[in-house]
Structure 1
Amino acid sequence: MRQYKWILPLIAIIGVVIAIFWIIPAEDSVIDQIQKIEIEELKRENITLKQTNDFLDEKVEILEMVTDSLTALIDNDQQVIEKLKQKKDEKISAIDDFTDDELYQYFAGFDTQNKENW
């Protein structure tokens, strides 16, 4: 039995060496596989986000063009409104200078110029 005392520690050492060189690398490879899968999923998500971003950029460009055209229309409408206000103010100031008879003729539609003889 004395001869076999060294066998038990030798089996323990061999077991530890097997664990170090065979089981632990297997766990590392599983972890590496999980990380690779996560990286692939993140790459796919990144591609999806890039496509969404490109689509939204195109929408923004279209909306900016619409905004620019609407701004131009608003500017044009404001110019028309200013011209109409100016004409209205000119008519009001012209009417302010009318005498009573001229006001009556203006609103009644009479013309003092005799175009035809009755």
Structure 2
Amino acid sequence: MKHYKWILPLVAIIGIVVALFFIIPAEDDVIDQIQKIEIQELKRENKTLIQTNDLLDDKVEILELMADSLTVLINADSQEIEKLKERKDERVTAIDDFTDDELYQYFSRFSTKGTTDRK
């Protein structure tokens, strides 16, 4: 029995070493699988983000075109406003030179042609 005392610890050590050789590679395989899955998910998300980015780029181009056309319209409106202001100023200066009778006729839309045509 004295000769067999070392067999039990030896079997335990061999069992632990064998278990470590099976457990460590299995853990590495699990970690590799998890990393592969994460990489695939990140690739899918990257593709989705690229597509979203392309769509947003298209929308930005459309909005820039709209902004340009609105700028053109604003410039046209500003020019029209300036023309209207000039015409108003011309009328005001013309009205300044009117006599009382001419002012009365201008504001009442009174015309001598309309009254002479009556029968």
TM range (shorter): 0.7 to 0.9
SS at match of 2:98: coil
Q: CA deviation at 1:7?
A: 1.2
Q: CA deviation at 1:81?
A: 1.0
Distance (Å, rounded) in 2 between the aligned partners of 1:88 and 1:109: 22
Letter in 2 for 1:100: D
Distance (Å, rounded) in 2 between the aligned partners of 1:103 and 1:51: 69
Aligned to 1:18: 18
Unaligned runs of 5+ residues in structure 1 are 112-118
Q: Percent identity?
A: 72
Aligned to 1:57: 57
Using structure 1 for the length normalisation, give the TM-score.
0.85
Aligned to 2:83: 83
Moved >4 Å (runs of 4+): none
Unaligned runs of 5+ residues in structure 2 are 114-119
What is the 5 A alignment of 1:97-112?
Answer: 97-106=97-106, 107-110=109-112
Letter in 2 for 1:64: E
Using structure 2 for the length normalisation, give the TM-score.
0.84
SS at match of 1:98: coil
Root-mean-square deviation over aligned CA pairs:
1.5
Distance (Å, rounded) in 2 between the aligned partners of 1:20 and 1:82: 89
SS at match of 1:108: coil
Describe the superposition over 1:60-84 as per-residue Cα deviations: whole angstroms up to 9, x where unpaired. 1101101110111011011101101
Distance (Å, rounded) in 2 between the aligned partners of 1:105 and 1:12: 124
